[in-house]
Each structure stands twice: as structure tokens, then as C-alpha cells.
Amino acid sequence: MARTLSTKDVATDAVTPGTPTRRRRRSYVRPRWTPYFFIAPFFILFGIFFGLPTVRSLQMSFYTERGVDTSAEFTGLDNYATLVRDPTFYKALVNTSYYALGSILIIVPLALSLALLLRTRGLLLREFFRLSFFLPNAISGIVVAIVFRLVFDQEYGLLNNWLLAPLGLPKVAWLADPAFIMPSIILLGIWQFTGLNAIYFMVGLQNQDPGIHEAATVDGAGPWQRFRYITLPLLKPTTVFVVTFAIIGSYQLFAQPVALVGEGGGPNRAGLTLTMYLYETAFTNLDLGYGAAIGYAITVIIVVLSVLQMWAQGFFRKESA
């Protein structure tokens, strides 16, 4: 009987002569799967302990669930509608943005200056300084805040007695006067995070080709021109990284203000940050659905601000070019 051979038959027969074409073959893992197999445990654990809770909390944000013994009731966008009318949320948003703006505008230039300073040729004890600047970042936020409570103490604190008093200035209630609470937290942030960011900038500076600077010098560029037109533009990826992480870190600020002014944020809630408000809503008031909505609002704010600053720094223009 005449039989038309298909290309598949030909191929199969060619590879495994004598093997029945209908036989179901066992397939084997290709070696290219092996790496995935080895990294799978991380992704499985990540999925269970991060992915699932992330999805669950998104779901929860559309439900009203309050108290210990309660059942979740689907309320759609009710939590988000409450959020846009919640004055405490706006208070926390303003406070957090104040910190973010204050810390970024001060920490980033300060860190860059430090990095440039640490690059100075012939600087004595360079490694010691690098280590010293990094050390505050290795200390727990709570410990730092407890130490800074003493620094900010109105009667016996270092700032009032060693800095303001010798200048004849009156004592400041750093942690009791609402006007000074956020500046105090920013001061703490500067102390803790400038060194780390300086190290990022130092890495960025080290990666710059010295030849470009030398060529500019030969062409008659002065130190300021070299900094303005060569160093800074070449540092753009580092700056984007530093600012993005500063935004993320600022909007997640929690331990330091809690230890400095308490969970409620102190007088007039001047130290209340978004994550503190989330914690208070979800774990003190047990308003889990609303807490989840606050969490997602924080996520959206961080993503929007990060993308905006990357766009402002031309990050996407560079990518598309």
C-alpha cells in the first residue's frame, strides 16, 4: 500500500532508526534547565513568603476587615475612597515627603562632596575615613535613634548644650516642638546615610576613565568645568541609583521616628511617616483592609516618584538613544 511519508516521519526515522514512530518517548531535562532548577528554591520561597502576601494584601485592600474576630467583606474601592479623604494620611504623606526632600537635597550633594574629598590625592587615613563614614549605616536604626534621643534632649542634650548654648542661642525642644521634629529626623538621616551614599559616589568616580579628564585638562578645562561637564554627566547612573534608593528609603522610614518620637509621631503627629501610619492602622487598630490600601498607596507613590526622577535625569532618553 502506498503511503505518503510526512517530513515528521522522515525526521524521526532519521534520528532513531528502527524505533516505532508511535512510541512515547521519555524526555529528559536539558542541561540548560539545570541552573533554573538550582535557583528554583529561592523563587519558590520568594513566591510563598513575598509573592503570595503581596497578592493577598492587594486583594485585602478591596475588603473591609477589622478586629480579631471578623470576616472580610468586599467593599470595592471603599478603602481607597477613605484614603483620599483621610487627613491623617495626608499629614503622614507631607511629613514623609518633607523628610524625603530634605534628606535627598542635603544627603546627595553632601555625599558627592565627601566622595570627591576622599578622592583627593595624598589624603591621609583615607581607608579610615571610608570605614568611619560607612559605620553609621551598619548600626540598627533603633540604636541610632536611641542615641540621638540623648543628642536631642532639650535640657541635657549635646546639640543644645554644646552647639546652641556656646552661641548664646536658646534651647530648642527638638523632639517636642512640632516645627523641629522632622528637621531632627533629617539630621539623624544625614548622619546615618551620607557615608553610604558617598561610597556609592566613590565607586562611580573610580569607574570614570581618567583619560577623559586628562584630555579635558589638555584642552584647557579648569577644575569646575571638568566637574560640571565631565564628572557630573558621567556620574548620572550613580546619581539615579542613589536618588532612587533615597526615595525608596525615605518613604519606608519607620524605625528612627518611632524610636525618636513614639509610634503616634509625637506632638501634632509631626513625626508620623506613611509606614508608621500603615503600622498603626493595621496592627494597632486592626483595620487590615485599610492598612493594605495604605501599603499600596505607598507603593504607587514610590514608583511614580522614582520614575519621575529617572525621567527628569534623562535616564530613559539615554536608554532609547
**Piece of 66-74, 201-209, 230-238, 313-321 that binds other proteins (CB under 8 A):** 66-74
177 alpha-carbon distance from chain centroid:
29
In 3D, which of 281, 222, 310, 271 has the Cα closest to residue 92? 271
Rounded-to-integer distance, Cα 44 and Cα 39, Å: 9
Q: Nearer to other proteins by C-beta: 193 or 280? A: 280
Q: Which of 8, 156, 218, 220 binds other proteins (CB under 8 A)?
A: 156
Write the CB contacts of 267 (distance below 8 Å, at least 6 apart in sequence).
176, 177, 178, 181
Residues 269-288 interacting with other proteins (rule: CB under 8 A): 269, 280, 283-286, 288
Report DSSP state, residue 204.
H
**CB 250, min distance to other proteins, A:** 22
Q: Which residues within the stretch 167-186 sit at the binding site for other proteins (CB under 8 A)? A: 173, 175-176, 178
DSSP letters of 223-241? Answer: HHHHIIIIIHHHTHHHHHH
Which grid coordinates belong to 47? Answer: 513566591
| Distance of alpha carbon 83 from alpha carbon 64, whole angstroms | 13
| Cβ proximity to other proteins, 147 vs 205, nearer residue | 147
Q: Which is nearer to other proteins, 66 or 130 (CB)?
A: 66
| Span of 36-44, 127-135, 215-223, 235-243 interacting with other proteins by CB under 8 A | 36-44
Closest to 92 in 3D by CA, of 310, 297, 241, 308: 297
70 lies in the site for other proteins, by CB under 8 A: yes
Among positions 69, 127, 219, 319, the unique one binding other proteins when judged by CB under 8 A: 69
In the complex, which residues of this chain contact other proteins (CB under 8 A)? 15-16, 26-33, 37, 40-41, 44-45, 48, 64, 66-71, 73, 82, 88, 154-156, 173, 175-176, 178, 263-269, 280, 283-286, 288
